[in-house]
Each structure stands twice: as C-alpha cells, then as structure tokens.
Amino acid sequence: MTTVDANQVALGIESFGDDDAPLVLLAGATTMLSWPDALCERLAAGGRRVVRYDLRDSGESTTADPEVPAYTLRDLAADAAALVDALDGRPAHLAGIGVGGMVAQIAALDHPGAFSALTLVGTRAVAPGRCDGDLPDHDPATMPRLFSLPMPEWSDREAVAEFGAARAEVLGNDPVAARTTAARIWDRTPGTALSTQMSNQLGMVFAALDCTPRWRERLPEIDVPTLVVHGRRDPFFPVGNGEAIAREIPGARLLVLETAATAIPDDATGAVAEAMLSLG
C-alpha cells in the first residue's frame, strides 16, 4: 500500500494487477476494505489495474477531524477525479459502494471526462440521512437493532472484531468475513480515529456532510456505461433504491444479488466481476 497526492490530500491506495486500463474503487463508509480482496483479484485477472483507496479521514488517507468534516460530498468526488488523473491521466472505470456510490454518482456528473464507466453498488441517489418519498428507507426493524449494539473498547482488537461481526449479523452479511475485515481495519487505522471510522460505517459522519445541491434529477446526464449492483436483502438501502438509479441513468444495467445484503459475498464476486468487466 502507498499514498497518492490528489486534490491537496494524501489518499491511501492499494493496486492489483498490471499497469493497464485503470478501475478505481471508491470505499464505502469506511476504508478501502469495503471492496473484497476476492473481487479485486478477479477484476485484475480480467486485465485491469484495480486501485482501491481510502476516503479522506479513513485508513491511510489524510485524517483531520473526522467528527467535524471540513469538506463536502463534492470534495470527495473531486478527490476521485484527481486520483484518476494522478494515476495516468486516462479516463477510468469508477466504482462506488454504499455512500461511496453516492460520491461516484456526483463524480460522474461533475467530472464526466475523467471516467469511462460507472459501477454503483448498494447505494441510493439522495444524500445520507435523507430519503425521497418514492424510495424505500432503512428497514425499520433493522435500524433499532443496529444502533443499539453496544460500542466496543476501541483499543481492544478482538472486541472491535466482535463488534464488526455482530453488526454484520444484524445487517444480514457474513459475520465471519466481517470479523476479519474489522480486525484488518483495526490493524491499519490510528487508534484515535478508529471509533469515528467505524461509526462512519453506519453513515453517522457522512450524514453531517454538505451534500447540496441534489443530484438525483441530474442522473439522466450520465452518458457512460453504467452497472447498478444491489443486494436483494439489503436493509440499509433497500433494493428499490438501486432499481430507481438503474431506471434514471440511461442504458444502465441492474444486477440484483438475490442472497446479498449490504456487502458483496464471496459467492457473488464472479458475477459482479464479469458484469463490471463487460462495461470496458
């Protein structure tokens, strides 16, 4: 892993594959590890240079004050465009998961020349913490259970791993995989920032970002090949959100993962990689 200076911040990145056409993976509401290793490896085997990276205030990227972010959702979109330019200047396939998918939509709209294709995984077309009336909101049975989980002792690696597993179980994801990922996040995150980064996974910090103006009405302007991937069992951003995005972006393809929730399960990496690579 290394860092790249982009848009006046240092972004922690990890690359897979040869120096070929870039495919850039925007993190979800946490570190680059929201993109599974197995998927990165499958994409790289398909002939792409895969670059996953940490958003600001997470992992190995520039960290200032995560609880009071001094940037907007559009600044994060500008980071993505600047990173693509810093990698080799060629337009890149951009993929975003969760709130990273919101950033990716804005990046494609605000910096259209920077991107050759777009993949949006488990996301929605409105700002964190808000929901249009025609879009399904967070599952009301799941959210109280999720937010009532007791916080761990953040200095205790095992406790943080157990917290990640418990949260995954509530959301319908694989708790074993989530335990491993939470431990890896602990390993590569400064202790003082860990609690905020883990809270980010629930969208708390992202809900405080300036996300104006709205972008949903601009989705028909996106004119690059687009793939929308969504878990049928996603209780955080229910599948109707992905269906709406696919309807509103011209020519977008929708891939529904019938047994998935918010994370991409190992048994779906082949189908997701194949669909992403088909965009070019």
CATH number of the domain encompassing residue 86: 3.40.50.1820
Secondary structure of the chain: what % helix, strand, coil (to 5)? 40, 20, 40
Report yes or no on 8 lying in a domain: yes
Domain region containing 118: 2-138+191-277
Residue 201 contacts residue 218 (beta carbons within 8 Å)? no
Please state, in angstroms and rounded to a whole number, the distance separating the CA atoms of residues 21 and 280: 9
Tally of domains in the chain: 1
Report yes or no on 83 lying in a domain: yes
Report yes or no on 147 lying in a domain: no
| pLDDT tens profile 99-123 | 999 999 999 999 999 999 999 999 9
| 185 pLDDT tier (thresholds 50, 70, 90) | confident
Provide the 8-state DSSP code for 256.
E
Distance of CA 178 to the CA centre of its chain: 15
Which residues are bridge partners to 230 per DSSP?
A: 256
Report yes or no on 232 lying in a domain: yes
pLDDT (mean) for 73-78: 94
Q: Which residue has the tokens 């959100």?
A: 241
Report yes or no on 82 lying in a domain: yes
The reported pTM is: 0.94
Report yes or no on 129 lying in a domain: yes
| pLDDT tens profile 17-51 | 987 789 999 988 668 999 999 999 999 999 999 99
Report yes or no on 41 lying in a domain: yes
